């Protein structure tokens, strides 16, 4: 259960209302007036709690759970313990997420500028903007209504930030336009100079990086991730992208909509990553290639050439995942046989 020091619970909420929130159907005989106090994992839940089951691996925990209610797929409903109310959904994890948001919508920051913050006279702040301690808002910045700027964050000259976006503590954003309802975690760096040099024995001359970073709506960028501005064309992060902690996005990269980039992955300059691509942890994408829509790149894999739509890749250099695992199986057998 959530620690009340950090999270404010809005319960209790009736199970009928929670079913509406989740887009789920109440099981036959469930009392629509049953009040749920909180959400909890299957093994920790008790009376008054709601949980969820989205993975068959946890069916035994579901069968033994003391939860008052559970979001579950109809296919597993018959495994529920007696007396448990069910919220039936084909997408139980999403349903649970919506319910958790209902209980814990997050604390709305109080609008206003902290006395220690600096806001340039030419900056424009929308209604309800909150600026934390020691933050810096430079000239000609435009912050939409409800934007939250964390303590110690620097918003560089001319930057625009869309309605409802939150930028965490200790971040710096420059040379960029950021969309609405984004969530930028502490320590994010956006708009830093791209890594571009003319290399020579006479010395490596940096090439001016004259583009921007353009971040779409509903984008999440994890702690200490960095996104370089373009060299001339912009670096673009599409709507709905989710970027984990410690990710590096190089200059001129274009991420399509709904991409997921997981911890310590990197995308080299001028790569194009099309819609709904998944780059798993510590994977890498070479520069100047196209990662086609729906591609999934396994952890610690390196993609060196264009991919085909919807392919699953693994290894370094990356090849189709089935082929990679077949090669690993053959290699394991060969080394075992040689050891006899």
Annotated catalytic sites, by residue? Answer: 251
For 279-315, what is the HEC assignment?
Answer: ECCCCEECCCCEECCCCEECCCCEECCCCCCCCEEEC
For the beta carbon of residue 307, count every other beta carbon within 10 angstroms.
24
CA–CA gap between residue 156 and residue 119 (Å, rounded) = 11
Inter-helix orientation angle 15-22/92-103, to 10°: 120
Helix or strand run (H / E) with residue 70? strand 69-72
Compute the distance between CA of residue 81 and CA of residue 248 in angstroms, rounded to an integer: 47
The enclosing H or E element of 160 equals strand 160-161
The span from the CA of 197 to the CA of 129, in Å, is 39
Expressed in angstroms, the distance from the first to the final Cα of the chain is 53
What are the φ and ψ backbone dihedral angles of 96, each rounded to 5 degrees? -60, -40
Exposure letters 216-249 (e unless 16+ CB within 10 A, then b): bbbbbbbbebbbbbbbeebbbbbbbbbbbbbbbb
Rounded CA-CA distance 307/187 in Å is 32
Tokens of residue 146, six digits: 């409800």
């Amino acid at each position: 259960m959530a620690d009340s020091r950090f999270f404010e619970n809005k319960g209790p909420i009736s199970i009928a209302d929670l079913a509406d929130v989740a887009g789920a159907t109440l099981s036959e005989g469930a009392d629509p007036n049953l009040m749920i106090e909180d959400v909890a994992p299957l093994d920790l839940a008790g009376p008054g709690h709601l949980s969820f089951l989205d993975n068959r691996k946890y069916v035994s925990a579901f069968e033994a759970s003391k939860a008052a209610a559970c979001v579950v797929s109809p296919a597993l409903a018959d495994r529920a313990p007696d007396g448990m109310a069910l919220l039936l959904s084909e997408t139980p994890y999403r349903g649970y997420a919506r319910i958790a948001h209902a209980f814990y919508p997050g604390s709305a920051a109080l609008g206003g500028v902290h006395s220690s913050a600096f806001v340039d006279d030419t900056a424009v702040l929308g209604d309800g903007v909150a600026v934390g301690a020691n933050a810096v808002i430079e000239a000609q910045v435009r912050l939409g209504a409800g934007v939250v700027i964390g303590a110690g964050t620097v918003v560089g000259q001319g930057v625009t930030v869309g309605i409802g976006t939150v930028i965490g503590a200790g971040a710096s954003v420059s040379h960029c336009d950021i969309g609405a309802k984004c969530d930028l975690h502490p320590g994010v760096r956006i708009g830093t100079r791209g890594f571009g040099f003319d290399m020579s024995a006479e010395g490596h001359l940096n090439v001016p990086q004259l583009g921007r970073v353009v971040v779409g709506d509903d984008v999440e960028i994890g702690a200490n991730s960095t996104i370089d501005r373009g060299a001339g064309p912009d670096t673009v992060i599409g709507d709905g992208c989710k970027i984990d902690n410690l990710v590096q996005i190089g200059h001129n990269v274009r991420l399509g909509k709904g991409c997921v980039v997981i911890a310590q992955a990197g995308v080299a300059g001028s790569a194009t990553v099309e819609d709904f691509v998944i780059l798993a942890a510590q994977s890498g994408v070479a520069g100047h290639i196209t990662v086609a829509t729906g591609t999934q790149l396994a952890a610690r894999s390196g993609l060196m050439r264009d991919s085909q739509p919807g392919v699953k890749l693994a290894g370094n250099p990356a090849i189709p995942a089935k082929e990679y695992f077949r090669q690993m199986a053959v290699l394991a057998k060969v080394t075992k046989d040689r050891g006899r």
